[in-house]
Amino acid sequence: MTELFPTGWAHYLNGGLLIGAGVSLMFVFLGRVVGMSTVFSSTWSYFTRRTFFQDAALIDSRVWRLVCAMGLVAGAAIWWWIQGPDFAAVTDITPLRLAFGGVLVGFGARLSNGCTSGHGICGLSSLSRPSLVAVLVFMGVAIVTANAMAYVASAAQGGA
């Protein structure tokens, strides 16, 4: 198990439970479905007059969505503060590669009419068939990509 989760698994479980609880509470008490790609789109409605971003559904929900996004950022900042300065995300991935990955994720979210959080958490819990298809595609591509990258890394080190 330590090979799969070298830093432990409890924080992943706790994070998943907190996300599930937060999304459930938003739906039960406010009737809101939370998905981060819609938060992104509704926030852009403040800055651009393009037709897509001026949709009534985006404009009417942009305040609570922006507050939700600020809560996510604040929660991450608090978590980092609690963990202390030694707790930092370290990666050897270049900023260009991260930006390219972000563009691909954004394109995929727009293509599937929602992001992994919207489809995976809210869509699956409401038994949405399009969300099931989207999650299966997301996960399939992620598994293939992770294995391809591991193979490339292994080959680069001379151990294919």
Task: Please calculate the CA angle 43-49-52 and round it to the nearest 5 degrees.
Answer: 70
Report whether 48 contacts 29 (CB < 8 A).
Answer: no
The 8 Å CB, 24+ separation contacts for 3-6 are none
Q: How many CA atoms lie within 13 A of 102 on its CB side?
A: 8
Q: Give tens-digit pLDDT for 92-149.
A: 888 898 899 888 888 888 888 888 878 888 888 888 999 999 999 989 988 998 899 8
As given in the structure block, the two tokens for residue 130 are 């399009």
Q: Give tens-digit pLDDT for 20-78.
A: 888 888 888 888 888 888 888 888 889 988 998 899 988 998 898 899 889 888 988 88
